[in-house]
Amino acid sequence: MTSDQKHSWSDIRELIHSRILDATYRPGDKLPRDEDLALELGCARTTVHRAMRSLAESGIVERRRKGGTIVCTDPVTRTRLDIPVTRLEVEMSGAVYAYHMVDCRHLLAPGSVTAVMGLVEREVMLNIKALHLSDGKPFIYEDRWISLETVPEILKVDLKRQNANEWLVRNRPYNRCSVQLYAEAALGEIAEQMLVAPGSALLHIERTTWLNDAPITHVRATTAPGYRLSTTS
């Protein structure tokens, strides 16, 4: 009676997914218990669990103890976004990478920055403005704030030669990260640095990183016209 058994969790994931796709299980429906599915499919419960966890991570089903497994209604589009290190991104495209520090000073960080970092009070941080170049042309302009509380060693680094992000990434790994994406017209200073007409539409990527609730850095990256972020899955 039971069709021939598929014992691998990815096969089982596909099987269950296909039942969702062909509406055997509809959005909002409750799926059989892991144990029953294991019995039906002729595999261990652990294997069904592995498949289910994968479906849950993809946002296709929702699982609750005692509540069972439910097919998600109102599915979101869930993708993975990888933001590469700029130098590598440029070099991978076959272009020559260069880094140019525009400005570097101690400043009282604006409230917008300290708020995002989760700090109650404003404090003096290291502010770095720098340009990443691809074949000599402006590629990304970054405005970065580094917490001197969390990363005092940064003052010993020669940031005119050493890209701040790469130093941080190698010496100050982070725990938690928040990213925001938006479009904004190029303002005076940015338009100047990026060599674009004022008002040009540019994609901005803001990132904040922490190590166990201690903020490390906040950076606003302004990308060149036409820049695209792609995700897969």
Partner DNA sequence: AAGTGGTCTAGACCACCTC
Partner DNA sequence: AGGTGGTCTAGACCACTTG
Rounded to a whole number of angstroms, the minimum distance from the CB of residue 5 to a second copy is 22
Name which of DNA, a second copy, none residue 3 binds, using a CB cut-off of 5 to 8 Å depending on partner kind.
none
With b meaning 16 or more CB within 10 Å and e meaning fewer, what string describes 205-232? bbbbbbeeebbbbbbbbbbbeeeeeeee
Torsion, Cα 121 124 130 132, to 10 degrees, reads -50
Interacting residues with a second copy between 70 and 129 (CB under 8 A): 74-85, 88
Among 30, 185, 192, 195, binds a second copy (CB under 8 A): 185
Residue 49 or residue 129: which is nearer to DNA going by CB?
A: 49
Instruction: Find the binder of a second copy among 36, 42, 180, 195 (CB under 8 A).
Output: 180
CA distance 162 to 166: 8
Number of residues that bind a second copy (CB under 8 A): 49
Residue 123 Cβ vs a second copy, minimum distance, rounded to whole Å: 23
The pairing of beta strand 201-211 with beta strand 176-185 = antiparallel
Contact predicate 51/175, CB 8 Å: no
The answer to whether 31 contacts DNA (rule: CB under 7 A) is yes
Instruction: Please answer whether residues 147 and 196 qualify as being in contact, where contact means their C-beta atoms are separated by less than 8 angstroms.
Output: no
- Per CB under 7 A, the segment of 3-11, 90-98, 118-126, 215-223 that binds DNA is 3-11
User: Distance of CA 136 to CAs 97, 139, 158, Å?
Assistant: 8, 9, 22
Can you tell me which of 12, 13, 16, 20 binds a second copy, judged by CB under 8 A? 20
d(CA 55, CA 13): 7
Shortest CB 204 distance to a second copy, Å: 8
Q: Are 146 and 217 in contact (CB under 8 A)?
A: yes
Question: Which residue number, 67 or 94, has a Cβ lying nearer to DNA?
Answer: 67
Q: How far is the CB of 73 from a second copy (least distance, A)?
A: 8
Q: Taking CB under 7 A as the criterion, which residues in 68-97 touch DNA?
A: 68-69
Shortest distance in whole angstroms from residue 114 CB to DNA: 33
Q: Is residue 19 involved in binding DNA (CB under 7 A)?
A: no
DSSP class of residue 72?
P
176 binds a second copy (CB under 8 A): yes
